[in-house]
């Protein structure tokens, strides 16, 4: 990742270049990423490749798109490494209805080492924290988007909770991006894949969130909530442009009929 692309990435998320690879810079970069790059699955319904290597930077940076954890977290890791941060890839299992965790490698998060301390960095879950979380702290950690808490998981690993509810379980052993290929194939092709059940795009704002799910546009700002059904395809395309900056020439295809896993939060 050359310096020109670093500058483009920083401009994409409205971030300043850190003077050094420190915690202040990491907090700023993660917050700007969360507030600029949507959590979305349009690529799964536009017949696009889902890329985890540096080719994903074209989508995130130059096409001003977003993605799921397999795209935006690797992209962010490339930026952090180019800026001098030490980054590792961690696999995770998403918490599902029925009080169970899903398969291994169904989520991808980052661990950043700074001055002997480890930080959980995640910009690709939809309900991830806005700021880095301390890996070795078990007390509640306050974040602009809620109260997060990390627990030692039975048998090893780390459980991540938000406002008292489990989100996912991380294996604390680093993985390679290639290790996620079989699970990505499943997300991309299986009729049971949650990413194939709905078309969604969601972006955090300073005080809430805006979400487009199919033709349903919803927004939250503080305690105010609103929702509207967009009347036609032209209105949906305009909403992608207005609220997320996407220049789409066609809408994503209709999702599969909802299955048993529909609505499950995934990375």
| Domains identified in the chain, total number | 2
- Do residues 247 and 156 both lie within one domain? no
Q: Which two tokens stand for residue 33?
A: 């990423």
- Do residues 237 and 160 both lie within one domain? no
In-domain check, residue 188:
no
In-domain check, residue 56:
yes
pLDDT at 264: 36
- Do residues 146 and 224 both lie within one domain? no
- Do residues 132 and 229 both lie within one domain? no
Q: What is the CATH number of the domain that holds 45?
A: 3.30.2140.20
In-domain check, residue 190:
no
Q: Which two tokens stand for residue 118?
A: 């480890």
Q: Which of 178, 212, 228 is the last residue of a domain?
A: 178
- Do residues 72 and 139 both lie within one domain? yes
In-domain check, residue 264:
no
Q: Which residue segment(s) compose the domain that 38 sits in?
A: 3-178
- Do residues 221 and 172 both lie within one domain? no
- Do residues 247 and 121 both lie within one domain? no
pLDDT at 265: 44
Q: Which of 178, 210, 229 is the last residue of a domain?
A: 178
Measured distance CA(49)–CA(38) in Å, rounded? 18
- Do residues 169 and 229 both lie within one domain? no
pLDDT at 194: 85
Question: Per-residue pLDDT tens for 148-170?
Answer: 999 999 989 999 999 999 999 99
- Do residues 205 and 109 both lie within one domain? no
pTM score of the predicted model: 0.93
In-domain check, residue 195:
no
In-domain check, residue 100:
yes
In-domain check, residue 32:
yes
Q: pLDDT (tens digit, 0 to 9) for every residue of the chain, 267 residues total?
A: 999 999 999 999 999 999 999 999 999 999 999 999 999 999 999 999 999 999 999 999 999 999 999 999 999 999 999 999 999 999 999 998 777 888 899 999 999 999 999 999 999 999 999 999 999 999 999 999 999 999 999 989 999 999 999 999 999 999 999 999 999 999 998 888 888 989 999 999 999 999 999 999 999 998 899 999 999 999 999 999 999 999 999 999 877 654 433 333 445
In-domain check, residue 45:
yes
pLDDT at 30: 98
Q: Which of 178, 213, 229 is the last residue of a domain?
A: 178
- Do residues 206 and 174 both lie within one domain? no
- Do residues 42 and 120 both lie within one domain? yes
- Do residues 127 and 166 both lie within one domain? yes
């Amino acid at each position: 990742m050359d310096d020109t692309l670093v500058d483009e990435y920083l401009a994409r998320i409205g971030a300043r270049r850190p003077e050094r690879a420190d915690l202040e810079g990491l907090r700023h970069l993660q917050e700007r990423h969360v507030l600029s790059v949507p959590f979305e699955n349009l690529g799964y319904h536009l017949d696009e490749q889902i890329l985890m290597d540096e080719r994903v930077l074209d989508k995130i940076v130059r096409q001003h798109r977003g993605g799921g954890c397999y795209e935006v977290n690797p992209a962010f890791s490339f930026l952090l490494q180019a800026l001098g941060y030490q980054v590792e890839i961690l696999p995770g299992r998403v918490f599902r209805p029925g009080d169970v965790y899903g398969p291994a490698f169904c989520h991808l998060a980052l661990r950043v080492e700074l001055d002997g301390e480890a930080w959980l960095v995640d910009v690709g879950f939809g309900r991830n924290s806005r700021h880095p979380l301390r890996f070795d702290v078990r007390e509640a950690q306050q974040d602009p988007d809620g109260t997060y808490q990390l627990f030692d998981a039975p048998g090893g690993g780390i459980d991540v909770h938000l406002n008292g509810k489990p989100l996912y379980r991380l294996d604390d052993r680093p993985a390679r991006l290639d290790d996620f290929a079989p699970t990505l194939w499943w997300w991309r092709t299986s009729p049971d894949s949650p990413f194939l059940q709905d078309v969604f795009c969601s972006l955090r704002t300073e005080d809430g969130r805006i979400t487009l799910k199919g033709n349903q546009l919803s927004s939250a700002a503080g305690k105010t909530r609103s929702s509207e059904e967009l009347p036609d395809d032209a209105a949906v395309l305009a909403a992608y442009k207005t609220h997320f900056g996407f220049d789409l020439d066609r809408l994503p295809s209709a999702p599969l009929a909802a299955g048993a896993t529909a609505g499950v939060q995934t990375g």
